[in-house]
Amino acid sequence: MTDRPALAWSGRDDGAGAEHRRLFQAVQPLAQLTQKPDALFIGFASDEGVRRNQGRTGAAEGPTVLRSALGTLALAQSASGKRRTDLVLGDAGDVVVTNRDLVGGHRRLSEAVTATIDEGSLPVVLGGGHEVAYGTYKGLAASARRKNHRGQGRAARIGILNLDAHFDLREADEPTSGTPFSQALADEEWAGTELTYAVVGISEAANTQVLFDAADRARVHYLLDEETHWGNLQAIDKFVEVFTANVDLIYLTLDLDVLPAAVAPGVSAPAALGVDPAIINRIMGRVAASGKLAAFDVAELNPSLDIDGRTAKTAARLIHTVLTWHTPLPE
C-alpha cells in the first residue's frame, strides 16, 4: 500500500521503565508489529496539490520531519490524568507521489487508510499538502465501519472537521490542495450518502466570496478565526459538541495554516491572525475523546519554510494530544 518502507524511530533514551518512555519507543514498523496498534502512522509525501494550487512547494518532506519531532515526546501524561505509557503505535511508511500522479497517490493512501480502520486502529496520516485530505476521506468512506454502521445495515454518517484558514472547496480541472472537500462532497452526493463538513478558523481575508458562496450551498458549518478566541469559548465548545453529536464517524484534519504565523511559519500560506494553538489543542482533545474519531491527518508542514522547527514542534504537540486522548471506536 505504501511506496517507502518505515524506518526505525529514534529519540532520547532516559532509561529503562515505563516512567521514562517516549513516543519513539512505542513505534514499530508495521511489518514488525506483533499486536494491533492503537494508531498507525502513514506518511503522504506529496506537494503536487500545492504546486497545482500555486502554493509554495516543500510539504513532501513533511512526514519525515514530523516523525522526528514526534519521537522525543514523553508518553506519560500525569498532569492531564491520562497515562498512555502502554500505547502501541505502528508505522506503515510513506505513500510517495511521483511523476505528478496525485490520483494514484490518493488511491494508495485510501487503501492504506481503509485497511487500518478495518483492522481497528486509528490512521494518523502525516502530510504532505492538504491534498492528503481526499485520500484520507476516501479511505474512511470505503471502510467496513462506514458501509455498515455497528451492524445496523446503514451507512455511517461521516463528519469532517477541518481546522483550517481555508474552505478548500475550489473547483478545478484536476485535484489540488484546494479541492479535497469539494471532491468529498461531490462523491457523497453521487453515492446518496450523508456528509457533514465543518471548519474552524476560516479567514475572511483568505477566502473569496465565491468560496463563501460555495460553503453556503454545501451547508458548511464554520467559525471564523476572529470568532475562535478565549472570550468565545462557550460557543466554540458548543460548535464542537453539536458537530460531534450529529455524526457517527469523524475525520479530523489539521491544516497547520490555521495557526498564527508566529508558531507555524513553515506552511505555504502563513496566517496573519490564526487561532491560538491552545484552542486548537482543546478542540482536538475533545474530538479524540468522543469515541467517534475514525481518521486523522495533518497537512501543510513545509520544513524548508520553518523557523527553528516551530511548526513541526507545534504539529507534534497537537498530534500527541490526539494520541493521548483518543478513545477507540466501539466494536
Q: Which domain holds residue 149?
A: 18-325
**What pLDDT, on a 0 to 100 scale, did the predictor assign at position 18?**
77
* 173: DSSP letter: S
On whether 213 is known to bind a ligand per the annotation, the reply is no
In a domain, 48, yes or no: yes
- Per-residue pLDDT tens over the stretch 53-82: 999 999 999 999 999 999 999 985 544 555
**What mean pLDDT is reported for the chain?**
94
In a domain, 4, yes or no: no
On whether 130 is known to bind a ligand per the annotation, the reply is yes
In a domain, 331, yes or no: no
Residue 160's beta-bridge partner residues? Answer: 197, 251
On whether 106 is known to bind a ligand per the annotation, the reply is no
On whether 173 is known to bind a ligand per the annotation, the reply is no
On whether 164 is known to bind a ligand per the annotation, the reply is yes
Q: Cα-flanking dihedrals φ and ψ of residue 225, to 5°? A: -60, -40
Q: How many domains does the chain have?
A: 1
In a domain, 284, yes or no: yes
Report in angstroms the alpha-carbon separations of 235 from 134, 160, 223, 245. Answer: 29, 19, 10, 15
E-assigned strand segments in 69-136:
76-77, 82-83, 89-96, 122-127
In a domain, 330, yes or no: no
- Per-residue pLDDT tens over the stretch 125-184: 999 999 999 999 999 999 998 988 877 888 999 999 999 999 999 999 999 999 999 999
On whether 166 is known to bind a ligand per the annotation, the reply is yes
Q: Are strands 122-127 and 39-45 parallel, antiparallel or unpaired?
A: parallel
- CATH number reported for the structural domain that contains residue 32 in this entry: 3.40.800.10
Query: Is the pTM for the entire model greater than 0.75?
Result: yes
- Per-residue pLDDT tens over the stretch 3-44: 899 988 988 888 887 788 899 999 999 999 999 999 999 999
Q: Which three cell numbers stand for residue 48?
A: 503536487
User: Considering only 75-79, 193-197, 229-233, 305-309, which range has the smallest mean pLDDT?
Assistant: 75-79
In a domain, 287, yes or no: yes
